[in-house]
Structure 1
Amino acid sequence: MALVPLLLAAILAVVAKYALKDTITSSATTVFVASFVSLYIAHKLYQLFVYPRYFSPLRHIPGPKDHHFLLGQAVNQFKANSPNEPYVSWVKKWPNEDFIRYLTFGNSEALLVTSLAAHREILQAKCYSFVKPPFFKRLITDIVGYGIVFSEGDDHKSQRKAFRGMFSLGNLKSFLPVFRSKGEELSGLFDRAIAKDDGIVELVEVYSRLTLDIIGIFGLGVDLDNLSNKHSVFHECYHEIFDPTPAGLVLTAINAFVPIRWLPVKPNRDFIRANGIIHSMLGDIIKQRVADVRTARGQPKPDKKASEEENSKDLLTFMVEEKYFAEDGDSWSEEDMLNQILNVVAGGHETTASSFVWATHVLSTYPDVERRLLAEIRQLLKRSPRPDYAEIEGLRYLNNFMRELLRVHCPAISAPREAGEDVVIRGVLIPKGTTVHTMPAAVQHNPSIWGPNTEVFDPDRWDNLSGEAADTYAFAAFSQGPRICIGRVFTMIEFKAIMVEIVSKFRFEKVGKGDIELINPSVLLRPRGGLKVKVIRRE
């Protein structure tokens, strides 16, 4: 059956040859067309039902057998109560395998990466043998753009190098005053909720506004004022995109495999409108910044000195100065910069916002964890009311709390890749075009790595890591290797600074007693319908 494509090509060549000579009879045409159609159908049936079950080199890898006859595991994934399922259940069934094989849309094969050794080869040693798959691009590039996240090979290396200075520890530490200021603004919002709404706060919206403001200052040099403005167009558009209706979720999932954004239905129209507004607003900011920098370049240069303002230059200004006006032939257009800004703004605020949502949920659920975290933070603030980076970084329990939070409640769901060539990983030949899923939850909830209490929230485990849990690749929240999240350090500093502010001033009580329902399908771990808590001022 491997000859089918060649036979199809041969038939087309023969048909073309005689058609050009105008010597083919109608009966011969019928024969040729019928042969072509028959072989085409046979080839598709082979791909759908024969190859994956009887001839694929991956067919012996363990995995689920309850596939839909045409959609594979897609139906089970959509019916699951979490976007991390059924993957985590598979890992617990086959905890010691390198891969778990399953079928998805059109019975195409996919591999879930489970062992740390396989992760290390895919994410480090053979990182650039894998590319972002087309379905994943269709799923999120409309939202996050085609910047560094979707660059490949040498292009990715070049972009990563270009951003090295902006994401250096020294530069990121200079944004600590921004985090502190926005944390204090968040405290004011909580105080107003206590005065007006009995302290009831919906966390998803509030934290999304907070992190959108912070990433706006870092990425654009603009305070978007989402925390103080209840009707921010920018936030409302992102809310429309990240929190669609159930019908919108279904359309988004289908669009990943079959492009349907063109369908004139309300969820598509809402998505296109909101996305268009965001692109337009960001585009206007970029145009204005280019004009401002062009004007500044024509002015006398100020005295060179390492001021805090220079050290904390925003990403857009950096790109305009270093890349838009680059004279080495490697300049970026306004469209290039828009894609990079989309990467940073979309990817850098919703994931962090989700982390704050789950952190607050944990604080309202585990009183002993909350008590110990408060005691450590109070000791620090007693010594240093406005702690610097080193003092915050020295909070051992806060550091453990953050890592455990990202292990148990990692906001990111999946980082799918596709083999760009035939590649051997752990002795397994992965054919070109095979989808390979690296999922934080598949690693961080694997009992063979983290032990039988993997579902227990226990910050103290980070003081006594042993075996594979002590391996760098066992912590997968930011991925690893050359494509590790470029905003990892920024996110950690931001998270700790905000937690110092709100834990020292407020405690949180759960509202309601039911289990949290998660949005599924989703690219983020998010509670459906938001998550409400009662905020109470500490004495």
Structure 2
Amino acid sequence: MDVTSYLERLLRKDVLLPLLGLYLAQLVVYRAYKIFIYPYFVSPLKQLPGPKNHHFLIGHILNQIRSGHPNEPYLSWMRRWPRTPHGLIRYLDVGNSDAVLVTSLAAHKEILHDKCYSFQKPPFFKRLIADMIGFGLVFTEGEEHKKQRRLLAGLFSPGNLRALVPLFRDKAAHLSNLLDQIIETEGGVVDLVSLYSKVMLDIMGVFALGVELGNLESANSNTENPSFDECYHELFEPDSWGQILMGLNAVVPVRWLPFEANRRFKHALSTLRNQLMAIIRDRIRTVGEWKAAGTDSDTYKGKDLLTFMVAEKYYADGDDRWTPEYIMEQILTFIAAGHETTASGLLWGTQIMIEHPGEAKRLRDEIDELLRREPVPDQRSIEHLPYLHNFTRETLRLQAPGVNVAREAAEDVVVQGIVLPKGTTILIQPAIVNRNPTIWGPDCDEFRPDRWDSLEGQAADPWAFATFALGPRVCIGKAMTMLEFKIILVELVSKFDIEGLVPDAKVCTIKHLNPSVLLRPEGGLRVRVKRRRAE
């Protein structure tokens, strides 16, 4: 029988339909096995402790949404099972698939350091945030990730950070001027979420793009051509329906559905990408002219991130070359991660000062004493303020801006003696380590900066401060974030008093964006700012 006649026979209805039916039956049986049999009777993780109140189709998504906080119900699980034998809590995710929450420092080290490249970003995490932060450094794996880290690490060296101090000071002073205007025109009432996002975005505009974005000067326009700030506001602070769609999109693609929230999301994203691409193509022309004129290559290294990428990678040879589109993905990563996380940290630091006036006074007194000695303090002087350093670390410990560090086993991996089968979701939350009573003690939920002067036990382990992740994939901009945070705090604390509009409002009573990739208050955080009186 020749091939043609065989295919004709195979395509006959009386042959095709039974084959199709057999395939579908096998598929149904396999899915039933994976959902109802494997997780309860076969999975090597069935011995681990964990919650049972999930839905077999959508896992804990409803529990997470109903919790009202992006760190829940995971924090509650950690408190319920604080000392699991393997540092892992097992839960069942979408379709009853295996997932583990990492709770111990030993398990964190093994996953994020010892066996870092045996894990990769899971598909749901890509669907959740890749559109917003780009398929750049965050999503590269293995050897390619190592190469990109080596390439970009120099931009975050101590010498380069020293060179950025005037930029941080300039934007902090600009922020002060804007607050003075708000005091005169609005009685000092301001939304800190919007304000801090703008100042940090302006810093990243210069650092990443070499462009003055001018977000602090612009008011929200709500036009068809929104600014960078307005685009990011739509992406990271959607309304309630937008938050639900964000969570659903992590499970199944829903951005194509004809909802107004999706339309706004896609418009903001396309506007942002179009504006970035215009800047990138203009920079490619500029660097090309420099190269044609024989400009010394060291010139590129002293420029912004985009200029460096274009010079080093767009004009590279062969497989090392990056396209304009890939450069844009990298730039999206640095702008989003570099401004939203720091803005969130500043937001919670300010709220903590409102809640703890005694701690705010200690911080103010230390900063005032420095400014009496050194009216324009350099980086070294700021970095050597002990209480400011403790305040910064304690703020970022207690209110870590990034919510999740998600991984998936790229192969069967043994962690703390437990086999994590290929495809297992690994959920790592900074809050699980930073607010773990077995690590930080029974007062782990209290704001106590002095704890950093005498860390003991596990709290003294560098891995106990998980805000920036750790290991080969530690946040490349960690030192930059800490420095920005301190310089802006020095400016604000030395010139202004900030009061909550509701004086007794606490962090625990603030409604959080949920689901969210960042720890942010829903609806902003409005405060009243006053100029400090001369003492």
Aligned counterpart in structure 2 of residue 170 of structure 1, from 152, 155, 159: 159
Q: Give 1:53-68 correspondences, 5 Å limit.
A: 53-68=40-55
Answer whether contact 2:191 2:524 (CA < 8 A) is retained: yes
Q: Offset at 1:37? A: 2.5
Q: Offset at 1:532? A: 0.8
Q: Offset at 1:108? A: 1.3
Tell me the secondary structure at the aligned position of residue 467 of structure 2. Answer: coil
Q: Letter of the aligned partner of 1:40 in structure 2?
A: L
Does 2:210 match 1:216? Answer: no
Q: Letter of the aligned partner of 1:429 in structure 2?
A: V
1:367–1:71 Cα change, 3 Å:
same
Q: Give, in whole Å, the separation in 1 of the partners of 2:71 and 2:37.
A: 29
Which stretch shows the higher mean deviation, 319-328 or 378-387?
319-328
Q: Offset at 1:70? A: 2.5
Does 2:514 match 1:526? Answer: no
Tell me the secondary structure at the aligned position of residue 68 of structure 1. Answer: coil
Q: Give, in whole Å, the separation in 1 of the partners of 2:10 and 2:313.
A: 60
Q: Offset at 1:71? A: 2.1
Answer whether contact 2:35 2:56 (CA < 8 A) is retained: no
Q: Letter of the aligned partner of 1:212 in structure 2?
A: L
Q: Offset at 1:18? A: 9.9
**2:223 matched residue in structure 1:** none
Tell me the secondary structure at the aligned position of residue 70 of structure 1. Answer: coil
Aligned counterpart in structure 1 of residue 363 of structure 2, from 367, 373, 376: 373
**2:485 matched residue in structure 1:** 495
**2:270 matched residue in structure 1:** 276
Tell me the secondary structure at the aligned position of residue 424 of structure 1. Answer: strand
Q: Deviations over 1:180-200 (max 9, x none)?
A: 000001001111111111111
**2:214 matched residue in structure 1:** 225
1:531–1:28 Cα change, 3 Å:
same
Does 2:47 match 1:78? Answer: no
Q: Letter of the aligned partner of 2:469 in structure 1?
A: S
Percentage identity across aligned positions?
49
- TM-score, normalization: structure 2? 0.94
Q: Deviations over 1:390-426 (max 9, x none)?
A: 1111011111111100111111000100000000010
Aligned counterpart in structure 2 of residue 476 of structure 1, from 436, 441, 466: 466
1:327–1:31 Cα change, 3 Å:
closer
Tell me the secondary structure at the aligned position of residue 201 of structure 1. Answer: strand
- Which structure 2 residue ranges, 5 or more long, are not aligned? 221-225
1:401–1:338 Cα change, 3 Å:
same
Answer whether contact 1:364 1:507 (CA < 8 A) is retained: no
Does 2:232 match 1:238? Answer: yes
Tell me the secondary structure at the aligned position of residue 529 of structure 2. Answer: strand
Tell me the secondary structure at the aligned position of residue 515 of structure 2. Answer: coil
Q: Give, in whole Å, the separation in 1 of the partners of 2:10 and 2:320.
A: 55
Tell me the secondary structure at the aligned position of residue 165 of structure 1. Answer: helix
Q: Offset at 1:287? A: 0.5
Q: Offset at 1:26? A: 5.7
Q: Deviations over 1:107-143 (max 9, x none)?
A: 1111000000000000000000000001111111111
Does 2:31 match 1:37? Answer: no
Q: Give, in whole Å, the separation in 2 of the partners of 1:272 and 1:113.
A: 34
Q: Offset at 1:167? A: 1.4
Q: Give, in whole Å, the separation in 2 of the partners of 1:146 and 1:265.
A: 25
1:107–1:300 Cα change, 3 Å:
closer
Q: Offset at 1:24? A: 8.7
Answer whether contact 2:168 2:487 (CA < 8 A) is retained: yes
- TM-score, normalization: structure 1? 0.93
Q: Letter of the aligned partner of 2:213 in structure 1?
A: L
Does 2:103 match 1:109? Answer: no
Answer whether contact 2:59 2:94 (CA < 8 A) is retained: yes
Q: Letter of the aligned partner of 1:483 in structure 2?
A: R
**2:499 matched residue in structure 1:** 509
Q: Give, in whole Å, the separation in 2 of the partners of 1:442 and 1:29.
A: 53
Q: Give, in whole Å, the separation in 2 of the partners of 1:113 and 1:437.
A: 6
Q: Give, in whole Å, the separation in 2 of the partners of 1:392 and 1:359.
A: 17
Equivalences, count:
520
**1:454 matched residue in structure 2:** 444
Q: Offset at 1:496? A: 0.7
1:366–1:37 Cα change, 3 Å:
same
Q: Letter of the aligned partner of 2:79 in structure 1?
A: K
- Which structure 1 residue ranges, 5 or more long, are not aligned? 1-15
Q: Give, in whole Å, the separation in 2 of the partners of 1:139 and 1:441.
A: 19
Answer whether contact 1:72 1:104 (CA < 8 A) is retained: yes
Q: Offset at 1:66? A: 1.3
Answer whether contact 1:113 1:437 (CA < 8 A) is retained: yes
Q: Deviations over 1:482-522 (max 9, x none)?
A: 00001111111111111111111111111124521001110
Answer whether contact 1:175 1:312 (CA < 8 A) is retained: no
Q: Offset at 1:298? A: 2.3
Aligned counterpart in structure 2 of residue 395 of structure 1, from 385, 390, 405: 385
Answer whether contact 1:176 1:389 (CA < 8 A) is retained: yes
Q: Offset at 1:245? A: 1.4
Q: Give, in whole Å, the separation in 1 of the partners of 2:230 and 2:17.
A: 58
Q: Give, in whole Å, the separation in 2 of the partners of 1:114 and 1:18.
A: 61
**1:428 matched residue in structure 2:** 418
Answer whether contact 1:83 1:413 (CA < 8 A) is retained: yes
Q: Give, in whole Å, the separation in 2 of the partners of 1:24 and 1:262.
A: 34
Q: Deviations over 1:428-473 (max 9, x none)?
A: 0000000001110011111100101111000000011010001111
Does 2:83 match 1:96? Answer: yes
Q: Give 1:150-299 correspondences, 5 Å limit.
A: 150-231=139-220, 233-299=227-293
**1:135 matched residue in structure 2:** 124
Q: Letter of the aligned partner of 2:472 in structure 1?
A: P
Q: Give, in whole Å, the separation in 1 of the partners of 2:94 and 2:470.
A: 28
Q: Deviations over 1:21-57 (max 9, x none)?
A: 6179866655444333222211111111211111111
Aligned counterpart in structure 1 of residue 326 of structure 2, from 324, 336, 342: 336
Q: Letter of the aligned partner of 1:443 in structure 2?
A: V
Q: Offset at 1:288? A: 0.5
1:18–1:287 Cα change, 3 Å:
same
Tell me the secondary structure at the aligned position of residue 154 of structure 2. Answer: coil
1:498–1:205 Cα change, 3 Å:
same
